[in-house]
Chain A
Amino acid sequence: MRRILLYVIILTTGFIFLGRLFYLQVVDDSFAVRSNDNAVKVVYDYPQRGYIYDRDGELMVSNQPSYDVMVIPRNLKPFDTTELCAIVSLERKELERRLDKAKIYSPFLPSVIVPQLTKSEYAFLQEKMRNYEGFYIQKRSLRDYHVDHSANVLGFIAEVAPATIKKNPYYSSGDLIGRKGVESVYEDTLRGVKGVKYIQKDKLNRDIGPYKDGIYDTLPERGKDITISVDSDLQAYGEYLMTNKRGGIIAIEPSSGEILSMITAPTYDPADLVGRKRSPNFSKMWLDSTARPLYDRSILAQYPPGSPFKTMNALIALQEGVVDTDDTFSCHHGYSYGRGRKMGCHAHSSPVNMNQGIAQSCNSYFAQVYRKIIEKYPTPQEGMDAWNKHVRSFGLGDYLGNDLSTGRPGKIPTSEYYNQIYDYPTYKWYATATLSNAIGQGEVLLTPIQLANMTATIANKGWYYTPHMIKKIDGKPIKDERFTKKHQTTIDPENFEPVIQGMHDVYNNGTARSLQIDGIEIAGKTGTAENFVRVNGKRMQLTDHSIFVAFAPVDDPKIAIAVFVENGYWGGRYGGKIASLMIEKYIKGKITRQDLEDYVMDPKNSLEDEYEKPYSGEPFLINDGKKNGWL
């Protein structure tokens, strides 16, 4: 017994130690993580972000160096505070406050003292830097905008959000990531791949050399340049024309589906979101809840399309064989459909055939044509679904599947939708209940890009490519199947001829005859849409939206465009003029209808007072005569 005791104690101790070591080293692996957390620092080497060019190769976005003054408090030596404050234009008190803050954060780690020096500040400070021990200058890269437009197209870059870091392990805190626009959609292409350096730290968090002699380190890979389909000049001109207005414009090249312009108004200068002024500017725009400059109306706003949608109903009617182009329908300032219900129309000759119906934008004609489409089928449900199928084949009523950072599906009603709101089969509904669809009001909602795509499809006589923004990556044209596959509509090509002719006649002798451009054959369609808003729970009708779609030249379409101007009275007043001017700008490269531009840009014709009305708290007139001077 006396001999064994010590053996037992020693062996027991040995076993306990081995067990504890096994637990610490092999079973519980949380220690390895904690070790790397406190002993290895990861430092990233950020590559140049790719440049962005427009369709003609004009540089829109590049990078600019930015210089931060950094400090490591422990290394500070007494210095001439007055001189430093003068160079970086900082109050002495403020400098002291920031130095204290840096010291509290860590005496051993770098903190930013003055972010983003101007070039002249940098040049001056660089000379004097040796006098300021403990300070150094950290170079960073910011976006450099060569254009003052296209903010919604380009998007911006900003510090990555914590939620994104969780989802995507590539990013770490403080990284910059593309937000909105092509910066966000082509983030992976533009950003390149950051290089990684593992650095061994000591207990005071100081660097003490590469971890494992750098065997895990990687080199950064430069981001790829991209060319987008936007025409910088056209975009700039469009944004200029939208001054003092709200709305969206999309212009598409029908033969390729490339987006030539994507304009939202109001907008901002992309340079406003760079550098030291970024934060206050962003908050200001974010808080502007009525103008909403950060809201891209061209792809997000769902408007009733109004009369341009009549072309769709004409196409469906021809395809379904319910009317002939020569069939006429009468119009007596509108169309009555029983029990005193009437859809109004403006003054024009009667009766009208399809061509006149489109050119004069006759509500009565389309109400009757639409009714024929729905009533061709035994039940209104079947008629509604047949109609819906045709409309959807134009890419309406659903997301387009494009390469824009955001979008909306719009709304194209189905039989199910009406069954629900009319509580079918308890109550029955008929074609007349959905008659607003005939003239693009009521349940139909489209975004500007959807309406532009519809116009491009008409220009192509029945097919479209998904609208897209990307043209080349790294100088090589894209091969993305989403954008190189033709979408065929359910309408036969020959049925487009009369509709296109009708749209052409809108310019020749119809509602847009005053907007003709010499030497360019344009097909278009005006639209005027009633709209409502809810302010403090009260539903109010506002001045009608001004809508216009067009494409040109008629024989070989190079551009298809859709313009929405919120509360712009009627189609020809703003939308039509802006569309005509942009078509001329794109095709001719210059403007001959200076009178149109003068009207659109005249401060007297600003719509700002129109946008004030619902928030004034006072009763107001809509579509009031005081602006009815000139078509």
Chain B
Amino acid sequence: MARKTAGFDWLTILIYFLLVCFGWANIYSASLGSGPAGNYFDLNEVYGKQALWIGLSIFIIVIILAIEVKFYQRFSSVIYITALVLLAGLFVFGKTISGATSWYAIGSFRLQPSEFAKIATALALAKYVSDIQTNIKLFSHQFKAFIIIALPALLIVPQPDPGSAMVYAAFFFPLYREGISALYLVLALTGVLIFVGTLLIGPIWVTIAVVVLAALSFLLKKKKRPGIPLLLFIVVACIGLSFSVNYIFNNVFEQRHRDRFNIVLGKEVDSRGIGYNTNQSEIAIGSGGWTGKGWTEGTQTKGHFVPEQHTDYIFSTVGEEWGFVGSGIVVLLFVCLLLRLIFLAERQKSQFNRIYGYSVVGIIFLHFMVNIGMVIGIFPTVGIPLPFFSYGGSGLWGFTILLFIFIRLDSDRLSF
């Protein structure tokens, strides 16, 4: 059977390798001890291990690209259920590292299933929504899709790893593309706005603002004037939300959660306690200047001032040692990758491919936004890795598999 193939999208592959290699260079710098630099591939060192993970990723990539395309769609349910079982199994067999039971340990080898569950969820969601029986505009189908997304997230939250669970919000993007109402987004954004507004100015002012806005929309929009009962309902809901946020924030949240928000909102400056990470990270990035201090020359990096610098805070090394130029290029690389992936997703003939593609974009984008936002001090501290960059075998492999399945799907788009 002579099938027409479109070939792999080499631009995406190039950006992937640029990010992975640059990421490794920064992990090397961030994890370099005070002693003499040893072999780059010294497996006793963090950078040596990461080099090994990168080497093995190439092996994984070859396998993924070699597998028959239909496999992914056909076995998506199996993969999804396996992922759920693995997540659930953590409650029994999981190994606890720094407070979170997120790993399986087999000898010295450790695996973090939540990094792979995203892929499984993306496949399962794509399969369900692209099914000929499914009409995503129906609320009951929306609810089923929501269950597919929420199940793994609910298993991840109690590990506890709320950061990783939060990433499942990314699946809004493929669903929105496929036709669910923008109202969900508006509701979510309104919720966020009221949440932040309440923390910043308090529920009283939020109430005043909501009432004024409602009155204005009623007076100005004479043609499509919303019904008074609906408007009243919205106003009451907003005010209720604001007061309950105020209550939950002050009475249900623990202090460490409150602190994380307060730092970003600029309400508390405590550079020794909870604010230490963000403060040190900003100092490291800020001291980079235009072109940075040079590879392995970052004084903050060398002094290990930024905690978790080779994992979640790896971007601060980029900022310090490569300056605005280097960190700007990384941001641009991510933006290019994401835009390219949207472009690829849009050119798919198969709905399954497109939904999966949008899921990939959503997941990578959410990680990118939350991680860099946190490192440069405009987002609360949420511990999720920077894709392709942060140290960690499971994370690297998870993103590699996630991306390359899509590249494989894309290479076969003309065969339908």
Contact = CB atoms under 8 A, between A and B. Distances in A.
Interface of A: 2-3, 5-7, 9-11, 13-14, 16-18, 20-22, 24-26, 28-32, 34-36, 38-40, 200-203, 208-209, 211-212
B324 interface: yes
B290 A2 contact: no
B34 A35 contact: no
6 A-B pairs closest in CB distance: A31-B286, A35-B287, A39-B299, A208-B34, A14-B335, A202-B303
30 contacts: A2-B179, A6-B342, A11-B335, A14-B335, A20-B378, A21-B376, A22-B324, A22-B328, A25-B290, A25-B327, A26-B289, A26-B290, A29-B289, A30-B286, A31-B286, A31-B287, A32-B286, A34-B283, A34-B287, A35-B300, A36-B299, A38-B303, A39-B303, A40-B299, A201-B303, A202-B303, A202-B304, A203-B305, A208-B34, A211-B299
A35 B18 CA distance: 29
Given A14-B335, A22-B324, A24-B319, 17 more contacts: A6-B173, A6-B177, A7-B339, A10-B338, A11-B339, A13-B365, A13-B368, A21-B319, A21-B328, A24-B282, A24-B376, A26-B324, A31-B285, A32-B287, A202-B34, A202-B305, A208-B34
Nearest to A212: B297
A334 B22 CA distance: 103
B305 A39 contact: yes
B176 A39 contact: no
Nearest to B288: A25
Given A17-B372, A21-B319, A202-B34, A35 B299 contact: yes
Given A31-B282, A38-B305, A25 B346 contact: no
A14 B332 CA distance: 7
Given A24-B376, A25-B290, A10 B302 contact: no
Contact of B342 (A7, A29, A30, A38): A7
A207 to B, nearest CB: 9
Where chain B touches its partner, the secondary structure class is helix
A7 B342 CA distance: 8
A28 B287 CA distance: 9
A10 B285 contact: no
Contact of A5 (B176, B304, B328, B331): B176
B322 to A, nearest CB: 10
Interface in B382-405: none
Contacts of A24: 282, 285-286, 319, 376-377
Nearest to B285: A24
Nearest to B286: A31
Where chain A touches its partner, the secondary structure class is helix
Contacts of B299: 35-36, 39-40, 200, 211
B124 interface: no
Nearest to B287: A35
Contacts of B323: 25
A494 to B, nearest CB: 75
A20 B297 CA distance: 23
Contact of B302 (A3, A11, A39): A39
Most buried by A among B283, B376, B377: B283
A203 B177 contact: no
B119 interface: no
Contact of A18 (B302, B331, B338): B331
A25 B327 CA distance: 10
A387 to B, nearest CB: 68
Nearest to B297: A212
Contacts of B378: 16, 20
Contacts of B338: 10
Most buried by B among A14, A18, A25: A25
A212 B303 CA distance: 13
A205 to B, nearest CB: 9
B7 interface: no
Interface residues of B, number: 46
A10 B305 contact: no
Contacts of A2: 176-177, 179
Contacts of A20: 376-378
Interface in B209-244: none
Nearest to A26: B324
Contacts of B327: 21, 25
Contacts of B319: 21, 24-25
Nearest to A211: B299
Interface string B332-345: 10110011001000
B257 to A, nearest CB: 24
B363 interface: no
Contacts of B362: 6
A29 B338 CA distance: 32
Contacts of A18: 328, 331-332
Interface in B301-338: 302-305, 319-320, 323-324, 327-328, 331-332, 334-335, 338
B369 interface: yes
Contacts of A14: 331-332, 334-335
Interface in B233-291: 282-290
A211 B301 CA distance: 12
Contacts of B155: none
Given A17-B373, A24-B285, A39-B302, A3 B346 contact: yes
Contacts of A34: 283, 286-287
B83 interface: no
A448 to B, nearest CB: 57
B30 interface: no
B407 interface: no
B302 A202 contact: yes
B339 A10 contact: yes
Nearest to A203: B305
B165 interface: no
B361 interface: yes
Interface in B346-392: 346, 358, 361-362, 365, 368-369, 372-373, 376-378
Contacts of B331: 14, 17-18, 21
A6 B369 CA distance: 13
Nearest to A24: B286
A13 B283 CA distance: 22
Interface in B21-56: 34
Contacts of A208: 34, 302-303
Contacts of B342: 3, 6-7, 10
A2 B335 CA distance: 19
B34 A32 contact: no
Given A21-B319, A21-B376, A202-B304, A38 B283 contact: yes
A404 B124 CA distance: 90
Most buried by B among A3, A17, A26: A17
Interface in B176-213: 176-177, 179
A479 B371 CA distance: 68
Contacts of B365: 6, 9-10, 13
B415 to A, nearest CB: 24
B167 to A, nearest CB: 15
B176 to A, nearest CB: 6
A22 B323 CA distance: 10
Contacts of B290: 25-26
A31 B328 contact: no
A352 to B, nearest CB: 84
A209 B33 CA distance: 11
Nearest to B334: A14
Contacts of A6: 173, 177, 342, 358, 361-362, 365
A585 B403 CA distance: 100
A20 B319 CA distance: 12
A524 B410 CA distance: 114
